Homo-oligomer: A and B are copies of this chain.
Amino acid sequence: MNPVKVGLLGLGTVGGGTLNVLTRNAAEIARRVGRGIRITHAAAKAYDADSLLGLDQVEVCDDAFAVVDNPEVQIIVELIGGYSPAKELVLKAIENGKHVVTANKALIAMHGNEIFEAAQRKGVTVAFEAAVAGGIPIIKAVREGLAANRIEWLAGIINGTGNFILTEMRDKGRDFDDVLKEAQALGYAEADPTFDVEGIDAAHKLAILGSIAFGIPLQFDKTYTEGITRIERQDVEYANQFGYRIKHLGIARKTDKGVELRVHPTLIPERRLIANVDGVMNAVLVQGDAVGPTLYYGAGAGAEPTASAVVADIVDIVRALTTDPENRVPHLAFQPGELADLPILPMEQVETAYYLRIQVEDKPGVVARIAGILGEAGISIEAIQQKEPAEGESLVPLVMLSHRVVEGQMNQAIAQIEALDSVSGQVMRIRVEQLDA
């Protein structure tokens, strides 16, 4: 099949990220989709050409309406933001029979009802995964993954700036104003931080989440919105003493009387998983009647995380263009002819760090001999701990953490250690992973 042609409105942070991800991962994405996806046209007033991949394949102009009117383009991606001319552009694209992808939460929260009605009339799709919680596929999870459920409530940390500020206030005992200034310096907060710290951005997203959870029209104007500017360091400390964390939550709940849509600082028990979502990360906890609680966590903003959601929406639209079986989501995610013949590594070749527990005799020189064996095998020790032997016990556990090493090498060292007279039984070995990005 021919590549699908996409017109991109905006080449700023998210627009640039979208072009870069589509260019860099073009082969991987085509292996999944079964056809290419190409940004053929883009509109931008100004852009940083040096930071953009594949720009030579794109016809760039400064008139967004010209891209929307271009008959070659099948899908319009609106990444300009704001209400106008974003709204006019989206409505014009729909009128022209084009599908639309947008990351514009304000536009959807405020004008979504009107936009979706226009799209419905024209039989086109307006996709907006990137409008809520950046790269987390939360719209897909609620709309499709939990389609069997009556959603009872959801609660989300859906503004990274606010979560960064509250996390710093707690972890480092800092004041709100102080952290806000740092967030602005780091680029997490705008020069005018009102949208973030007063909860308006979160309320846009919550209005969208509440709507798809309960099947109600978008009602941003009825969403209760309270910011975090009044939270003092002492409140964060008192909350800790009570066993709670303060998070800026968006909460949507269906009750017998009606629907709650509210954004406000909230104390939540510190043992809840969502209470441990820190820094600029986002997370949404969704309670369904069949599935129970589920949680979705990831980056809520940033060029490439948001682009990840934009591109996923483009892929979904391409999948819905025909019902040919070969256009469906492939069983194993990639097209049958595109499965790779990569070797699966035998465990001996896998590299991890290790926790070792060795039962040793409590006498001089034993630790030195073991350390010597590890050293000769090129295995360095990160931490070591030896307890006093219990009364009447001659054996004592020697516990250590190693740095990363290939398993085959560790196996040899362990065999040598187990052969020592002063070591009893088998070495207990558990692998260690940092799981950092």
- Which residue numbers of A lie inside 8 Å of B, CB to CB? 17, 21-22, 24-25, 28-29, 31-33, 112, 116-117, 119-120, 123-126, 129, 135-137, 140-150, 155, 211-219, 222-224, 230-232, 234-235, 238-239, 241-242, 244, 246, 249, 251, 254-255, 257-262, 264-269, 272-274, 276-277, 283, 285, 287-299, 302, 304-305, 307-312, 315-316, 320-323, 325, 328-334, 336, 338-347, 349-350, 355, 357, 383, 385, 397, 399, 401, 428, 430-435, 437
User: If the complex has contacts A28-B150, A276-B273, A430-B266, are A258 and B343 also in contact, measured as CB distance less than 8 A?
Assistant: yes
For A137, A223, A401, which residue has the most chain B Cβ atoms within 10 angstroms?
A137
Nearest CB in chain B: distance from A247 CB, A: 9
Inter-subunit contact A137/B144 (CB<8 Å): yes
A211 to B296, alpha carbons, bound, how many Å?
22
A242-B401, A260-B350, A268-B434 given; name 6 further pairs at CB < 8 Å: A29-B148, A213-B333, A235-B355, A254-B342, A290-B308, A296-B296
Inter-subunit contact A294/B136 (CB<8 Å): yes
Chain A binding surface, main DSSP class: mixed
User: If the complex has contacts A33-B147, A331-B116, are A219 and B323 also in contact, measured as CB distance less than 8 A?
Assistant: no
As for how many copies of this chain the complex holds, the number is: 2
User: If the complex has contacts A234-B397, A298-B295, are A345 and B290 also in contact, measured as CB distance less than 8 A?
Assistant: no
A257 to chain B: closest residue by CB: B345
Residues of B within 8 A of A125 (CB): 325, 328, 331
For A141, A155, A213, A261, which residue has the most chain B Cβ atoms within 10 angstroms?
A141
Of B219, B273, B328, the residue contacting A297 (CB under 8 A) is B273
Residues of B within 8 A of A267 (CB): 355, 401, 430-433
For A308, A316, A328, which residue has the most chain B Cβ atoms within 10 angstroms?
A308
Residues of B within 8 A of A323 (CB): 320-323
A312 to B151, alpha carbons, bound, how many Å?
14
Residues of B within 8 A of A242 (CB): 355, 383, 385, 401
Residues of B within 8 A of A24 (CB): 289
9 contacts between A and B (CB under 8 A): A31-B215, A120-B331, A212-B332, A215-B338, A224-B346, A244-B355, A259-B342, A267-B433, A294-B298
Nearest CB in chain B: distance from A251 CB, A: 7
User: If the complex has contacts A141-B137, A428-B230, are A215 and B340 also in contact, measured as CB distance less than 8 A?
Assistant: yes
Inter-subunit contact B145/A312 (CB<8 Å): yes
Residues of B within 8 A of A259 (CB): 342-345
User: If the complex has contacts A147-B312, A329-B144, A433-B249, are A290 and B304 also in contact, measured as CB distance less than 8 A?
Assistant: yes
Inter-subunit contact B216/A433 (CB<8 Å): no
A329 to B323, alpha carbons, bound, how many Å?
14
A265 to B433, alpha carbons, bound, how many Å?
10
A428 to B325, alpha carbons, bound, how many Å?
59
